[in-house]
Amino acid sequence: MTRLGVGLTHAPGLDRVMAACGDLLEVVEIEPQTLWRTRTDGEIDVDEEALRRLADLPGARLLHGIGNPVGGCLQPDGEQLDRFAQLAERLGTPWVSEHLAFNRVRPPGQGGGAEFRTGFMLPPRQTASGVRHSVSSVRTMMDRLPVPLAVEIGTNYLRPRPDELPDGEFVARVAEGAGCGLLLDLHNVLANERNGRGGVEQLLADLPLDRVWEVHLAGGLEHRGYWLDAHSGLPDQELLDLAARVLPRLPALRAVLFEVVGPAVTQLEAAEVRDLLVRVREMWPQHPAADLPRPWRSPLPAQAGPDPVSPQEGSPRECSPQECSPQEWEHTLGSLVIGRSPDSPLARELAADPALPLLRELVSEFRAGALVGTLVHTLRLLLLTLGTEGVRELLDGYTRAQPPPLFATQEAFAFADHLRRARPAVEWLSDVLELDLGLIRVQLDGEPQTVELDTEPTALLAALGAGRLPVGAPRGPHRVRLVDDRAPERSSA
């Protein structure tokens, strides 16, 4: 693999910044899940128009997974892996990356139970047994891809545990056992240090730095006494100083990317992003990256001893927090963050961690954001009628009853079902909800949709678009044809 250079991870709305940085943009990283959309029949398509625009940008391409992590007991989703592999081939990416975390859970024991998603990437069990499960997941992904895989070191807001491997040692064992590369997100590891997980220098001392192919830089913010990996702006000076010390120590480094999320894009100044790219170039030695000292795919199994206390994995018996298996860890932590309350020593210990309310809030805010971005008029009507606290209570009831789905549009349809069952006292709710759902179906399937309403739609949408409740909206049956211009106010009645 050759050196790619510096660049950006693509986010919605970033086009103006990328255009201003075109002569400096050597690589663009794409999150494949942002290009997938689920149709109303359950099939998943690639947004070909968005993909074409991204393919036309200057520089090389990388793919960075955000929804199919490889740090848990459940193997990565096979359908997502196949779509990931197809995109890698179409874009000619030299490698791809995914997170060393988990976001899918299955209850332990022979009886098992329904698998569910957590809506947030969570830290795996950092024991020898956890290493073995992570190595298995990483290798499963590697075997399905046409190119090498690097795994990202994640953010962990939980307190360090005396029975777990240090962060750097855990990652090192996984990388060595699986034979994969590493994506070193310097903002992640700095956030972990700021939040009390351990020092960056110790983590770097534990890592096989000759496996680091890619580095991420990002900005964050303080919330609830934690430093959040929010990707909310430019890197701060401490992170830039850290990058200046670390980049020259990475002999196999091929790419350095600046990450930002869509909601923060509007606050970025293109000139500041250009300055960042120039600065990164200056701190990264310009000689070609060294050849990898080892094959990217190791033929050897993971070498890891037993956990300090190792019960039979998957056993339904109650275990102490110190002897819990990776399956029990994932089920307990995943249940807690989505608002469930399992009763076990581990659950009680984790519930006492001050990071738990933060994780629950992050999951809830992420899910609420998905609804605001899909059921635009419905959420506005609910807020105008019920107020912030009323909507929060409604959302809390929904999220406790319904685990997070994979796609934002699936969240919208599930919340619509919840509203129909809950039947909150909100005038015009049925009509506005049908309009929003019709618009989602139009966008998903690319076909016009006809919905039947009991209120004249123009008055409804005009009032809500202006941030007020409808007044005197004419009643009576209306058939509305919605078309794929993604502008509900122009729909014909």
Question: Which tens digit of pLDDT belongs to each residue from 44-92?
Answer: 888 888 899 888 888 899 999 999 999 999 999 999 999 999 999 999 9
User: What is the reported pLDDT for 60?
Assistant: 94
- What pTM value is reported for the model? 0.89
The whole-number pLDDT of residue 40 equals 83
Worst-scoring range by mean pLDDT, 229-238, 312-321, 346-355? 312-321
User: Around Cβ 387, how many Cβ atoms within 10 Å?
Assistant: 11
Percentage, residues of the chain above pLDDT 70: 90
**What local confidence, expressed as pLDDT, does residue 291 receive?**
53
pLDDT exceeds cutoff 90 at 492: no
Instruction: Enumerate residues 6+ apart whose C-beta is below 8 A from 41.
Output: none
Question: pLDDT-derived band of residue 211, with 50, 70 and 90 as boundaries?
Answer: very high
The more confidently predicted of residues 424 and 300 is 424
Chain mean pLDDT for the chain: 89
Least confident interval from 98-112, 379-393, 474-488: 474-488
Among 332, 408, 406, which Cα is nearest to 76's?
406
Residue labelled with tokens 């869509």: 262
